[in-house]
Amino acid sequence: MRLLLVEDEPMLGDAVRERISRDGHAVDWVMRLDEAEAALAAVGYELVLLDLHLPDGRGLDLLRAMRQRGDRRPVLILTARDQVRDRIEGLNAGADDYLVKPFDLDELTARIGAIARRAGGDPTPTLTQGSYSIDRAHRRVRKEGREVALTAREWALVDRLAARLGTVVAKSQLEDALYEFGEEVESNAVEVHVSRLRKKLGAEFIETVRGLGYRLSGGE
C-alpha cells in the first residue's frame, strides 16, 4: 500500500515510517496540514495516518474536509489524547480507527492491515488462490503448504495484487505501492519484481495481461 503519515513529532514519525517501510508499504511523511492537503491532492493514497495536533491546525479539520468533499480514503488517527470524548469526536468526524500514543508498533501494523482489508471489502486475512495461500495479516505466502520467503517489496507487490484479487492491476498502481515520494522509479522495476516472484513461486502465480497490467492467477 501507499500511505500518508501526517505527524509533527520527529522521533515518532521516523519510527513509524521505518516500521511501515519494513512492512513493505510505501509511505510519504509530512508534518503540516497544508503539506498533507497538497499530498492528498496529488497522490492516490490508500490510508492516512493522522495526528490531531499539528503546527498549523487540527487534524480533525483535515479529516472533516476530506469527508465533506467525498474523500473516503481510510484514516487512522494517532494521538496522545486518550479521553473517551476525544475518540468519539474523531470517529464521528469520519475516522476508521483510533490509536493512542504511546502505542506498540506491532499493534500499528495489525491495525493498518485490518483497515486495508475492510476497505478492500475482505475482512478475512487469508486468501486462497489455486495452490497458493496468502496471509495478508502476517505477510506470508505459502505454495502447497510451504512458506516462501519474500522481500519487503516483493510482498508489497503481492499484497497489492491480492487486494484486487481477480482483477487486473495496472503497472503504475504497482509502482505506487512500491516506492515513496522522491525515490526514483526505474522503468523496469515492476517487471524485475514480477520475474523474481515467478522464480520463487512459479510462472503461473502472476499473469501478465498485455497492455493492461498484472493479476494473480495461481494456475486457475
Please report the pLDDT score of residue 5 as a whole number. Answer: 97
Give the CATH architecture of domain 126-216. Orthogonal Bundle (1.10)
How confident is the model at residue 183, as a pLDDT?
63
- Give this prediction's pTM: 0.69
Write down the domain spans for the chain: 2-119, 126-216
Contact 95, 76 (CB under 8 A): yes
Cα–Cα dist 220/198, whole Å: 15
The packing angle between helices 171-178 and 189-201, to 10°, is 90
Q: Dihedral of CA 102/151/112/14: which sign?
A: positive
**pLDDT at residue 87, as a whole number:** 79
Residue-level pLDDT at 128 = 83
Answer for the pair 162, 214: CB distance below 8 angstroms, yes or no.
no
Q: Is 6 helix (H, G, I), strand (E, B) or coil?
A: strand
Say if CB 27 and CB 20 are below 8 A apart.
yes
Q: Domain 2-119: what homologous superfamily?
A: Response regulator (3.40.50.2300)
Confidence (pLDDT) at 29: 95
Which portions of the chain are predicted below pLDDT 70? 120-125, 180-185, 218-220
